């Protein structure tokens, strides 16, 4: 901040601009976007692992609750669940066997956001992200700083590494190389359900609109399994893992974060909706542009298959101001969860390429 404009002045300005809404979200609550609300268009959209999140969030919206509180309460169910190994407690660890979590939130009416990255020992990073938004002037806190901030707000340190996640990590370590001191992994048989989780980048995203047309979103994850310690994915990056524009819509993502960060794709999805595309068209257009960029990426990144197509999974979820929604994926197969106010269900994602 320049010496001519101190933080104190900045805060004062914030208070002046946002006086009418200071009791609302965020330190700098300012102008509330003015696109007309679509009365009654309650919607909650989430990734395929979010069917309990959409149920919970809709329950809160139906009682007149705030959409950000609703989506966070929804994803907290999955963060707390040791059986979802891509998020929160029970998430797969980094290459050192340490669980590091990323999360972001964004609130449409104030266009404010908060996020944490590489936070350890706190099982609900989405709640900490909300506090970053509401109790600081920052957008993103990482690692030790994020943990200290969470502890300052009364969060308790917990061991997030479940036995199941530790076993999976151990298995990965044992099979990594035959030139180390770990004996071959076949001496320890893993349960069936651990076989598919040897290398994952799961996540949960949840976005919602309430009866007043207020949009909000959250994305939370344990990130890429076995990642290099300190690796941050797309989930806590606004514009990549999540983006909300209260005048247009909201979008979020799950899948390989590196591909998403390099293309700011959630921002692109919202931008495309702002240009008049439907949520499905917008998601597919973003996927298409990522697929194009993939061709430029060095072969060593291993992000392109023999046919020149992306070798990774990436999914987008979008919701516009009218309450229209979609889920779309690079390769067919994934589903997304949606509660449209009447029914909570999983639906097939639209896709760019058909899985063979």
Active site residues: 203
Which among 267, 199, 203 is positioned nearest to 53, based on CA atoms? 203
For ligand GLY, the binding residue among 257, 279, 310, 334 (CB under 6 A) is 257
| Distance of closest approach, residue 260 Cβ to ligand GLY, in angstroms | 7
254 binds ligand GLY (CB under 6 A): yes
Q: Take residue 351 and report the two structure tokens written for it.
A: 């896709």
189 to 228, contacts with ligand GLY by CB under 6 A?
201, 203, 221, 223-224
Under the binding rule (CB under 6 A), the answer on residue 125 touching ligand GLY is no
235 binds ligand GLY (CB under 6 A): yes
CB of 49 to ligand GLY, least distance (A): 12
As measured in angstroms, the least distance from the Cβ of 227 to ligand GLY is 8
User: Cβ(41)–Cβ(323) under 8 Å?
Assistant: yes
Question: What is the residue whose two structure tokens read 């972001």?
Answer: 104
Name the nearest CA neighbour of 67 among 245, 221, 213. Answer: 213
Neighbours of 352 (CB within 10 A): 21
CB of 257 to ligand GLY, least distance (A): 3
Query: Residue 296 Cβ, how far from ligand GLY at the closest point, in Å?
Result: 20
Of the candidates 88, 89, 82, which has an alpha carbon nearest to the alpha carbon of residue 103? 88
Q: CB 325: neighbour CB atoms within 10 A?
A: 24
Work out which of 255, 279, 327, 334 binds ligand GLY, going by CB under 6 A.
255
Residue 252 interacting with ligand GLY (CB under 6 A):
no
Span near ligand GLY by CB under 6 A; candidates 47-55, 57-65, 152-160, 254-262: 254-262
Q: Which of these ranges, 12-20, 113-121, 139-147, 248-256, lies near ligand GLY under the rule CB under 6 A?
A: 248-256
Report the residue number, 234 or 245, with the smaller CB distance to ligand GLY.
Answer: 234
DSSP code of 193? G
- Site size toward ligand GLY, by CB under 6 A: 12
Using the rule CB under 6 A, give the single segment among 168-176, 252-260, 295-303, 331-339 that binds ligand GLY: 252-260
Return the DSSP state at 24: S
Task: Compare residues 123 and 214 and give the one whose CB is closer to ligand GLY.
Answer: 123
- Asked if 27 and 136 touch (Cβ cutoff 8 Å), the reply is yes
CA angle 260, 44, 37 (to 5 degrees): 100
Would you count residue 256 as binding ligand GLY (CB under 6 A)? yes
Q: Which of helix, strand or coil describes residue 17?
A: helix
* Phi, psi torsion values for 130, nearest 5 degrees: -65, -40
CA dist list (Å): 161 to 57, 144, 202, 222, 276: 27, 18, 16, 11, 45
Tokens of 4: 């001519």
When the beta carbons of 60 and 116 are compared against ligand GLY, the nearer one is 116
Min separation Cβ 2 and ligand GLY, Å: 36
Nearer to ligand GLY, 29 or 49 (CB): 49
Give 76 or 344: the residue with its C-beta nearer to ligand GLY: 76
259 forms part of the interface with ligand GLY (CB under 6 A): no
**Residue with smaller CB distance to ligand GLY, 54 or 118:** 118
Spatial separation of the C-alpha atoms in residues 106 and 203, rounded to whole Å: 16
Sole binder of ligand GLY in the list 26, 90, 109, 233 (CB under 6 A):
233
Q: How far apart are CA 241 and CA 101, in angstroms?
A: 14
Name residue 105's beta-bridge partners: 114, 218
| Residue nearest ligand GLY (C-beta atom) | 233
Shorter beta-carbon distance to ligand GLY: residue 231 or 322: 231
Q: Residue 56 phi/psi, 5° resolution?
A: -65, -45
Residues of the shown chain interacting with ligand GLY in the complex, contacts defined by CB under 6 A = 201, 203, 221, 223-224, 233-235, 254-257
């Amino acid at each position: 901040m320049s010496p001519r404009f101190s933080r104190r002045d900045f805060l004062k300005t914030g208070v002046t601009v946002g006086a009418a809404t200071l009791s609302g979200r965020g330190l700098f609550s300012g102008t509330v976007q003015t696109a007309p609300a679509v009365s009654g268009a309650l919607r909650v959209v989430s990734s395929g692992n979010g069917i309990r999140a959409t149920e919970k969030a809709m329950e809160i919206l139906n009682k007149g609750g705030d959409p950000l509180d609703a989506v966070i309460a929804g994803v907290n169910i999955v963060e707390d669940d040791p059986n979802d190994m891509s998020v929160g407690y029970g998430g797969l660890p980094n290459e050192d066997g340490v669980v590091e979590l990323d999360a972001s939130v964004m609130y449409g009416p104030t266009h404010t956001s908060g996020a944490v990255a590489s936070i350890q020992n706190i099982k609900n990073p989405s709640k900490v992200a909300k506090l970053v938004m509401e109790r600081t002037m920052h957008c993103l806190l990482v690692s030790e700083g994020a943990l200290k901030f969470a502890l300052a707000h009364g969060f308790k340190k917990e061991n997030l590494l479940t036995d199941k996640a530790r076993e999976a990590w151990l298995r990965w370590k044992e099979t990594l190389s035959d030139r180390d001191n770990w004996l071959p992994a076949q001496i320890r048989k893993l349960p069936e359900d651990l076989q598919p989780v040897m290398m994952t980048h799961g996540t949960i995203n949840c976005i919602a609109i309430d009866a007043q047309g207020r949009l909000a979103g959250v994305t939370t994850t344990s990130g890429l399994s076995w990642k290099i310690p300190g690796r941050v994915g797309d989930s806590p990056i606004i514009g990549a893992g999540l983006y909300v524009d209260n005048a247009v819509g909201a979008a979020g993502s799950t899948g390989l974060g590196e591909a998403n960060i390099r293309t700011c794709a959630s921002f692109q999805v919202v931008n495309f909706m702002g240009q008049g595309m439907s949520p499905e068209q917008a998601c597919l257009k973003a996927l298409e542009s990522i697929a194009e960029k993939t061709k430029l990426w060095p072969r060593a990144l291993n992000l392109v298959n023999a046919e020149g197509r992306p070798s990774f999974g990436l999914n987008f979820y979008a919701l516009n101001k009218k309450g229209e929604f979609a889920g779309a994926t690079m390769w067919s197969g994934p589903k997304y969860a949606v509660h449209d106010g009447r029914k909570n269900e999983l639906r097939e994602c639209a896709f760019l390429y058909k899985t063979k």
